[in-house]
Structures are given as C-alpha cells and as structure tokens.
Amino acid sequence: MDATPVNGWVNPYADAILAAAVEAARAERNAQAATLLKLIVGASPHDAYVLYVLGRCQYDLKQLDAAHVALSTAVAIDPYRAEAFNDLAAVLFGQQRFTEALTFLRRCLDLNPNLAEAEESDGIWLLRYGRFKEGWRKYEARYRTLLSKSYKRDFTQPQWYGEPLNGRTILLHAEQGIGDAIQFARYAPLVARRGARVILEVHPPLAALFDRMDGVTMTVAYGQPLPKFDLHCPLLSLPLAFDTDLDSIPAAVPYVAAPPNHALYWSNRLGVRRARRIGVVWSGNPKHRDDDRRSIPLDAFAKLLAPRPGLEFHSLQKDIRDGDREVLQAMPHVRQHGDALRDFRDTAALIGLMDLVIAVDTSVAHLAGAMGWPVWTLISAIGDWRWMLERDDSPWYPSMTLFRQERLGNWTPVLEEVARQLDDMLT
C-alpha cells in the first residue's frame, strides 16, 4: 500500500485499518468500512486498492457521486484492475450515463473476459438492446457472481439446454423473484410439447396457481421434497434452451388464470359493479435490492388515487407498509383487500374483476400481463432489462403499457401522464 505522507503524516496503522475495513465490507457493513477507508485515503490518497474498496462501499451505500470520484481516481492510478472498471460502470449506470458505463464495461472485459460480474452485466445490456441470443448466453454467468451464485442448484442431474427430451422427466425451477417465475413459467407448456414430463418448482404462494397450467404434470412449492427427475433447467435459462430471440418470444396470453371457485368468491365479495374498477400497486418487496427505484412512496402515488366519478380503486397489495397505513386511512374510497389475499390464486381472481391494473414493477404487474389483462406498468428510469429501452410496450406481455421515468427518482411526470389517461377513459 502506498504510504506517501500527506502534510507530513503517515497513518502507521493503515494496514490494520484496511484489514478491518475489508472485513466490514465483506460483512456488508459498508458504512463502517467507508469510515475506516477514509482514514487511510486521508493519509495515502494514491492507493488505488483502497480507493477501489471505498468506491465499492459507497456504491452499495448508494452514494453514487462519491463512488464515482473514488473509482475514477482508482482506475486512473491503476488502469489494469478489471473489477474497478466494472464497478465504475455500475456507478455510471446508476447515474444514467449509459454510454460511458458501457465504455468502462468494455474496458473491464478487455482486461478480464472471464469476470463473472462483468459478463453478466454485458448479457443484461445485450438483453436490454434486444440482442437476445448473445444476451441469454452471457446471462448464464450470473451463477458465477458473488451476488447470484447462491441461485445455482447443485443437482446431480444435468441441466437441459434444448436437446431432445424423449419422454424424460424435467424439473423447471424458479431461481429469483416471484415476478421472474411468473414471466418465465410460460415456457413450461412448450417444454411439455417437446415430449417431457414437466415438474414445476416455484415459490409457495405461486404453487397452487400454476398447478392448473397446461403441460405441467406436478407443481412443487420450493422447500418441499422433490420427486425423481432426469434433467433440470432454471426458469431464466429456458430462453437460452429455446434459442429465443426478439421475434420468437412465446407471448401467447393468457397462460395463467384464477380457479373458478376463487373467481366466484371474489365476485361475491366485491358485489355489484357500479363503476370501472382500477387495481393499484405502488410498492413491491422492501427487501428487493432495487426497491428504492421501483416502488413509489404512497404520498406521491396518492395523487393518482383522487376520487373520480366513474372509477373505483382497489388495492391489490397483500402487504401494506406501516407508513402507508395512515395515508390509506385518509382514502376510504380505496378498497383494501390485503388480509383476504391468501396466495396468488386470490390475486389472480381479484385482477380478473378489474378493468385495468396500474402497478409498479412487481409480481402483480407480471401476473396481470400473464393473464392477458390490461396493465399499466410504471418503470424506473433505470428499469429492469426485461423492459428493454425506450419502449412503451412489452414483447413479453401484449396487454401491457409501460410508463417510464425520464429522470431517476422523479415520478411526478409519470403519475401526471397516468392521471391524464385515466381521465381520458372517462370521456
């Protein structure tokens, strides 16, 4: 480590502080790590490794401007550390400086073509741009990244990559969020048509809903014992197995529907229709790493829920955050159903009674799209790869319309546009 004096002072404990900082960073105590690293930077501002670790911690703390300074300095001092270029690309992406981000990502891959995090990022960008065949292949690198390698299942059975099935039993298993499972379960009937016996393993709240899916022999809730199978495939690897490109996305909807008894229960619960029904979702899983980008604070979203003659608002959210309950108390015209939503069969039945669903990027938006229901999905300026770029539609969900932020964090223009279109429905 560079111990060049600053103002005549060298921190004699720099090595010990760095070791403590790295340990804190590995334990995701990033604020503590950043504080320790700044002590070293103050004395030795030319140590590229210290600046690199500091920049990573600041990025995880969502201190993007500070992370940009630290990582830019690190790569200027040491232009051969691939990981620093990859992290700098991530920072620039978070700042919506996409062209610069891709430049630094390419530099990272030039230095280390096998860096899993960079290869996964490259795959995600290819998918955003609609270059699916390259993108799916590179996206398989997710299983080698520190963040996502836990998704990999250590089955002794081989993974299926599209070869003939010849009547064998295949396990298709969810690996990420509920929305991902809903989006890519569409491939299960296609696998069955290739001559396989299909077992589908998904999150427990989805299992009963998918039990009725065409071509699925058995649905298993994650965590339950698995029957015997010959092959397996993660749901998000099925597009690779099917060599999916932009023109061959299996977009036939609906491919899920509420069971008739659930539909009847919810029809009776809602009673006689007196107005157009609008189902709404303003926030997703608070533990999601991008929740601050995807969810909309209810006090902002509430402007969309102003009473309108001819419209009836229904919350499709199962879980209401503590801070939202007080806001909802002031809006008795927004009907709440969360306590009665036992699993996604109920959510699907409730969606089926709506005229329109308006949702942020959550599992409910995916479910409405999979049901072929009209859904307006509100997308962050840094949207997920599946929504691609500069589109107001989705090739995955024909019934979906996308409303995109222009500037990260600014939902006001999006909500104003949605409100205008709601008013247009009434004219």
Q: Which pLDDT value is given to residue 9?
A: 39
To the question of domain 14-141 being in CATH 1.25.40.10, the answer is: yes
Q: Is 67 helix (H, G, I), strand (E, B) or coil?
A: helix
Nearest to 187 by CA among 203, 169, 200: 200
Structural fold of domain 161-241: Rossmann fold (3.40.50)
pLDDT of residue 42: 67
- Beta-carbon count within 10 A of 21 CB: 25
Return d(Cα 370, Cα 210) in angstroms, integer: 12
Q: Which residues of the chain have pLDDT under 70?
A: 1-14, 42-43
Q: Using an 8 Å Cβ cutoff, are 221 and 203 in contact? A: yes
- CA–CA–CA angle 335, 339, 345 (5° rounding): 95
CA separation for the pair 184, 215 (Å, rounded): 14
User: Residues 197, 201, 203, CA angle at the centre, nearest 5°?
Assistant: 155
Domains 161-241 and 260-425 belong to one CATH topology: yes
Give which of 343, 360, 213, 381 is closest to 296, Cα–Cα. Answer: 360
Helices and strands (H and E) in the chain: how many? 19, 10
Asked whether 183 and 386 are in contact (CB, 8 A), the reply is: yes
pLDDT of residue 43: 63
Q: Are strands 276-281 and 334-335 parallel, antiparallel or unpaired?
A: unpaired
Tens of pLDDT, residue by residue over 199-223, are 999 999 999 999 989 999 999 999 9
Q: Is residue 222 a contact partner of residue 202, using CB atoms and an 8 Å limit?
A: yes
Buried b (16+ CB within 10 A) or exposed e, 294-333: bbbebeebbebbeebeebbbbbbbbebeeebeebbeebee
Q: How far apart are CA 351 and CA 23, in angstroms?
A: 47
205 token code pair: 């709240």
**Cα angle: 265, vertex 269, 274; to 5 degrees:** 125
CATH architecture of 260-425: 3-Layer(aba) Sandwich (3.40)
Q: pLDDT at position 8, please?
A: 34
| pLDDT attached to residue 277 | 97
Cα angle vertex 274, ends 269, 275, to 5°?
110
Task: Give the rounded distance of the alpha carbon of 85 from its chain centre.
Answer: 23
What is the DSSP annotation of 222-237?
TTSPP---SEEEEGGG
Alpha-carbon gap, residue 26 to 252, rounded angstroms = 44
- Domain ranges in the chain are 14-141, 161-241, 260-425
Contact 183, 239 (CB under 8 A): no
pLDDT score recorded for residue 3: 38
Sheet holding 356-360, edge to edge: 334-335, 311-315, 276-281, 356-360, 375-379, 400-404
Between CA 106 and CA 82 the distance in angstroms is: 10
Write the pLDDT tens digit of every residue in 375-393: 999 999 999 999 999 999 9
The Cα–Cα gap between 158 and 161 comes to 9
